[in-house]
Structure 1
Amino acid sequence: LRAMVGLELSFGSIGVTAIGTGLRDDTGTNHPLGGQLVVRSSLVGPPSIMGHRDHIERVELSGTIGLREVTSLVARLRGIARDPSAKALVVTFDGVSAGWATLEELRNEIIAVKKTGRKVFAYMVSGTGKDYFVATAADKIYVDPAGGVRLVGMAGTTMYFRGLFDHVGVVPQFEKIAEYKTAPEQFTNTGPSDTAAKMQNEMFDSLWDSWLTHVAEGRKLSKADVQALVDAGPYVAGDLAKDKKLVDEVAAPDKVAQLVATEMGVILPVGVPPTERPDRWKRPAIAVIYVDGDITDGASRSIPFLGQSLAGSETLVNAITAARNDPRIGAIILRIDSPGGSALASELISREVFATRGVKPILCSMSDLAASGGYFVAAGCELIFAEPMTITGSIGIFYGKFDLGGLARKLGITTDTYKRGKRADVESLFRPYTDEERAVLLDKLRYMYSRFIGAVAEGRSMKKDEVDAVGRGHVWTGTQARGVKLVDKFGGLGDALDEAKRRMKISLDTKVQLVELPNVPTSLLGKLLGIPGIHASEQAMSLTDLPVIKDFLRGVPASLLAQPDAAQARLPVDLIWE
């Protein structure tokens, strides 16, 4: 009988393993055959019987935070809330850039850490309004003596191009369903219609009230006091910020460590504990499928140099199908940050969502935007989560073209068209629609709108006339949307994950594997960058690094750039807001 006995002692990234081998003969006598000693050193180690040292976790929020980064941050913060060795959390801020609903979601996750009894500290050198909004979730806020807090409120800008078009001889021609679908106004008007202005003001009132409420509750101030401080901005120096109770202390980084130690009553190391070796193959799996950017036909892709993402129907349909058919995956969460786009592409994705219902749980987690085509996709999910500051709704559709005939004539360009078929040149950019063609186009839009509200009615268990009453292109905040039954619950990705676990009938404490789909698309430039000798980064080469160009491009719908010939189920405007 041959036997082998081993013992491994693991201390995080360092481990020692001893193995001995022996043989027992027919007489029962044991004979040692040898052994080996293995010393391991690695960045990732298995769980140790010693456990992690007590420590203070540190999370940095800076720069642009996209959908996938939010997933990582939510998982990190939830892990901190469960880690018995994590005694507190320090969050540092350095110009975070994200939508208000994303910031609201991260803020709520920080509050969840605080509710476990752990203290949370925030530190910033010179905090922006977005930094400060999230920081107010902390127990204590520290600001550097050289910095302060910049409070400028919330502003939005819409660009209107009609004056430019008139100047150069371009005639925009659009039809829409219905009165609140104000997207074409960017091209047909020199300013907002009364309907658009009313809707925008109602939306901003809702968003601003959420902002004031969160900050006031976090700092134990009245909303009126916070409003007065914002109006007295934009910049509040450190000492004044402390006097006005916006922050707790003015301190350099070395002093912050002392302040934290005083609050904790003990000096603990600040950092991240060793990462444990993943055991994902043992865990239940939940798919998180990202609908990120303007929705278009075909494959997902990015627009080189413009820094914009396109969510392709082909890519997303394949991702949903793969997740539905994968026996490892117990539930699916659609994570949406999209203003909409192609109506056809949105319906194709929506159809796949409905096909998944009843096969396995499929839920929706809205981020900053889930409007128009983005809502079309969400409507088929069994449950919809949104933040109060999410922008959603905009159930409507529009279509049109630009008649460039006048511009061509100004440039001395003439055309000669040959056609077979009465309307073969209906989409020509060198002539306008006829009245008959516009009537046919409007009939097509009515049919597509009927399909849109039909899908929403089925998904939300509403009557079509009920959907139409809250549709017609109307944009809602998450707070408003919940009131008109377009959203089920307030919450972010973490809340959707908890609900997915409930529907999978597993404990909320069960660790799960997150299967993130689809794979990150590679743009044409990204493929070129794989050629030897080409090393420049796509981000570094992005034209959107120039503020003026960035603001201009944000005012032009990416889906309209990518598919000008597609009917659009898209958010009315791209607000440039801070």
Structure 2
Amino acid sequence: MNFLRNLAASIIGTLIALGLIVMLFLLIAATFGDTKKVVLKSNSVLELKLENIVKDYAPKSNDPLDELLGFNDKKLGLNTVINAIENAKTDDKIKGISISTLGVNAGIAQTQAIRDKLFEFKESGKFIFAYADFYDQKSYYLSSVADSIFVNPVGGIDFKGLSSEVLFYKDLQEKTGVKMEVIRHGKYKSAVEPFLYNEMSENNREQISSFLKSIWNEMLVDISANRGVTITELNKIADNLLARTPKLAIENNIIDAAIYEDEYVDKLKKISGISKDDDLNKISLSNYISKGKGRVLSTAPHKIAVIYAQGEIIYGKGDEDKIGQYLIIKALKKARKDKKVKAIVLRVNSPGGSALASELIWRELELTKEKLPLVVSMGNLAASGGYYISCNADRIFAEPTTITGSIGVFGILPNFSKLAKNIGINAEQVSTNTGANYSVFEPMSTKFRLVTAEGVENIYNIFLERVAKGRNMSKQAVDSIAQGRVWSGVEALNKGLVDELGNLNDAILYAAELAEITDYKTRNYPSYKVDLEDKLSNFPFVKSKNKIILEELGESNFKIYQTVKQFSKLRGIQTRLPFVITIN
């Protein structure tokens, strides 16, 4: 036995040593080996592809080992994309931009912000062309800013209007015996509706229809301005799918021509002043950013702190994908202590989450506002808890396509009592007192439901008070537009929930105005540090459980699993937007 044990230990030790040696050789090779240097040539075309995930803030690690071992995810920061386009505008080596993306892995508000920046670029006199084998709606919306739009002769354009699908799990609960016990306030608080009904309520259908129409109209206004097609005609094209083939798309002025990619490259060469026989000088967006073009350099003495709150709100530390009160509060305190920081912009992109964490962040923002001007910029989402942490700013900016509001509260608890009964499990409890207790193996008691409902009502009233104070409205006025109702940025402006429609840069400019400064630079917060254990999770031999389940179930089934799992893990009262709303 000792021999076998020692043999196994020797084999494992040898394998670990070999792994470390291989990693060391890779590191040495990366450090001393030849690497292809990115060169920006004259008469270059900046190639815009947005197939990688676009986040409001996506800082890269400065650790070279992270890049070598693939720890840096393939992602783009919206701020760096905007800065790169701004720099390209005045870069003598950049003749124009080619949009050639198969899809846009960004939210609609982010896409609109990039499109607006591209429009500014075009006004500088430089060209923008677009080409794709096939356009989905978001990639077409982005590409519609171009001077000329081309598609593959056997391609097409998916232009049919926006739709949203919501999955319902009531029958699934009945079949499995696993039920979600729900207590909510807000007739529009549809985050928990999939667990209560088998079909969409009229209130939910009303709000989804309303903000979809508002967002679609914004897209149509932009497309109409660039393509010279009226909004009425664009809706007719969408209703009758009159862009489904290149021929129909050309006839309806959705695109300019159907050509092959080599013909498109020839057009880029011609407009860039390059001979047809020479190679086209292209530089990808990521390579352009790697040359430092994702930053706007400044020696200004003053700073405006931009604090990014992105992801669902959790109670705890948080990270690049989740808003935890610890990191946000730490960032606010750090910005306040920096004497060069003269104002703060909070960039919010969140569907909400923990009510307690939202309140703690709100409190720190109140303290911050006593010392510095505070402006909020809303991204794709600033709803429920995302709105909670936004409502007390000196001024709130939203994109026209931002989804916001959802001022409502719910509590949700999993219950396995039916499943336990079906499989022969009986749970017995012993308590010292008669207070309302809850067991997942017993039906929820009336007493516990009443106590929980009281907590939900209390949080809802506090939420109303926070909004009323921040927006200078009465609680009754807030309640009339609350009830968990979701609004687009345009609708929110009309309801008084935001002050102005604009992007992050507009919010920064306003913050500078409040601080009475003209010469300034921005400083991004918070800073994220990833533990080695989290880094190693990218390797196949330590593959995450979610990745394994995704591979086994497929993407569609995995989304159902993920939704049920997220709700089952919720703790405490929630101010959260529906998980399951997707816009296509």
Give the length in aligned residue pairs: 520
| AA of the residue aligned to 2:461 | S
Query: Which residue of structure 2 aligns with residue 565 of structure 1?
Result: 571
- How far residue 452 of structure 1 moved from its aligned partner, in angstroms, is 0.9
8 Å contact from structure 2 (residues 336, 371) kept in 1:
yes
* Residue of structure 2 equivalent to 1:223: 231
Query: Can you list the C-alpha shifts for 1:434-454, whole angstroms capped at 9, x where unaligned?
Result: 333323322222221121111
Q: Which amino acid aligns with 2:264?
A: V
CA drift of 1:56 comes to 4.0
Distance change (3 Å), C-alpha of 1:412 and 1:276: closer
Q: Which residue of 2 aligns with 1:442?
A: 453
Partner of 1:67: 56
> 1:301 & 1:411 partners in 2: Cα distance?
40
Q: Aligned-pair distance for 1:146? A: 4.3
- 1:137 corresponding residue in structure 2: 145
Q: Return the letter of the residue paired with 2:122.
A: K
Deviations 1:500-533 (A, max 9, x none): 33344444xx672432424165595435558xx9
Rg larger in structure: 1
- Cα shift readout 1:185-236 (whole Å, capped 9, x = no counterpart): 2111112222222222222222222232222222111223222322333972
SS at match of 1:421: coil
Equivalent pair of 1:64/1:98 in contact (CA under 8 Å): yes
SS of 2:305 mapped into structure 1? strand
Any idea what SS the aligned residue of 2:151 has? Answer: strand
- Residues 561 and 110 of structure 1: is their aligned pair in 2 closer, same or farther, counting only changes over 3 Å? farther
Residue 195 of structure 2: aligned partner: 187
Q: What does residue range 327-346 of structure 1 map to in structure 2 within 5 Å? A: 327-346=339-358
1:296 aligned partner: 314
CA change 1:539–1:55 in 2 (3 A) is: farther
Q: 1:346 to 1:413 in 2, by over 3 A?
A: same
Contact preservation (8 Å) 2:306, 2:522: no
**Structure 1, 207-216 or 131-140: larger mean CA deviation:** 207-216
Are 1:373 and 2:381 matched, yes or no?
no
Q: Which residue, out of 455, 462, 471, partners 2:466?
A: 455
Match of 1:576 in 2: 582
CA distance in 2, matches of 1:400, 1:273: 44
> Contact (CA 8 Å) 1:401, 1:427: kept in 2 or not?
no
- Equivalent residue letter for 2:244: V
Question: 1:42-441 alignment to 2 at 5 Å?
Answer: 53=42, 55-68=44-57, 69-83=77-91, 86-233=94-241, 236-260=244-268, 262=270, 269-271=281-283, 272=288, 275=291, 282-283=299-300, 284-301=302-319, 309-423=321-435, 426-441=437-452
Contact conserved, 2:227 with 2:253, CA < 8 A, in 1?
yes
Q: Secondary structure at the match of 1:121?
A: strand
Please tell me the residue identity of whatever aligns with 2:478.
Answer: V
Residue in 2 that maps onto 1:487: 498
- Letter of the structure 2 residue corresponding to residue 402 of structure 1: P
- Quote the offset at 1:43 in angstroms: 6.5
Stretch of structure 1 that moved more, 274-283 or 496-505:
274-283
Amino acid paired to 2:393: C
Q: Is the 8 A contact 1:365 1:386 kept in 2?
A: yes
Measure the CA separation in 1 of the matches of 2:327 and 2:155.
45
8 Å Cα contact 2:237/2:243 also seen in 1: no
- Select the residue among 476, 479, 484 that pairs with 1:465: 476
Rounded Cα–Cα distance in structure 2 between residues aligned with 1:42 and 1:164: 54
SS at 1:189 equivalent? coil
- Counterpart residue type for residue 571 of structure 2: D
Please tell me the residue identity of whatever aligns with 2:418. G
> How far, CA to CA, are the matches of 1:518 and 1:65 in structure 2?
18
Shift of 1:70: 1.2
Matches of 2:172 and 2:292, distance apart in 1: 59
Distance 2:515 2:36 in 1: 35
Relative distance call for 1:265 and 1:565 in structure 2 (3 A) is closer
SS at match of 2:316: coil
- Select the residue among 515, 540, 545 that pairs with 2:524: 515
Deviation at 1:82, TM superposition (A): 4.2
In the alignment, structure 1 segments of 5+ residues that lack a partner are: 1-40, 46-50, 303-308
What residue number does 1:20 align with? Answer: none
Q: CA 1:203/1:260 → structure 2, altered by over 3 Å: closer, same or farther?
A: same
More strand by share: 1
Give, as a single letter, the amino acid of the residue that structure 1 aligns with 2:315. Answer: D
The question of whether the paired residues in 1 share the 8 Å contact of 2:397 and 2:502 is answered with yes
Q: CA distance change for structure 1 residues 44 and 329 in 2, over 3 Å: closer, same or farther?
A: farther
Match for residue 546 of structure 1?
Answer: 554
Name the SS for the 1:183 alignment partner: helix
Name the CA distance, whole Å, in 2 between partners of 1:411 and 1:171.
Answer: 15
Matched-pair contact (CA < 8 Å) for 2:80–2:289: no
Q: Answer yes or no: is the 8 Å Cα contact 1:74–1:493 preserved in 2.
A: no
Give the whole-Å Cα distance in 1 for the aligned partners of 2:272 and 2:134.
Answer: 25
How far off its partner does 1:172 sit?
Answer: 3.4
- Identify the structure with the greater helix proportion: 2
User: Secondary structure of 1:378's partner?
Assistant: coil
Give the superposition deviation at 1:135.
0.6
Q: Provide the rounded CA distance (Å) in 1 between the counterparts of 2:353 and 2:123.
A: 40
CA RMSD in angstroms comes to 3.3
2:443 counterpart SS class: coil
How far the C-alpha of 1:404 sits from its partner, in A, is: 1.6
* Mapped partners of 2:217, 2:296: distance in 1: 44
- Classify 1:185/1:337 alpha carbon distance in 2 versus 1 (closer, same or farther; 3 Å): same
Alignment partners' CA distance in 2, 1:137 and 1:111: 6
Amino acid in the other structure paired with 1:144: N
Partners in 2 of 1:301 and 1:233 — Cα distance? Answer: 42
Equivalent-residue separation in structure 2 for 1:273 and 1:316 (angstroms): 27
Gaps of 5+ in 2: 1-34, 58-76
Change (3 A) 1:64 1:281: closer
Distance 2:298 2:46 in 1: 27
Q: Distance in 2 between matches of 1:535 and 1:445?
A: 40
Kindly, what percent of the aligned residue pairs are identical?
27
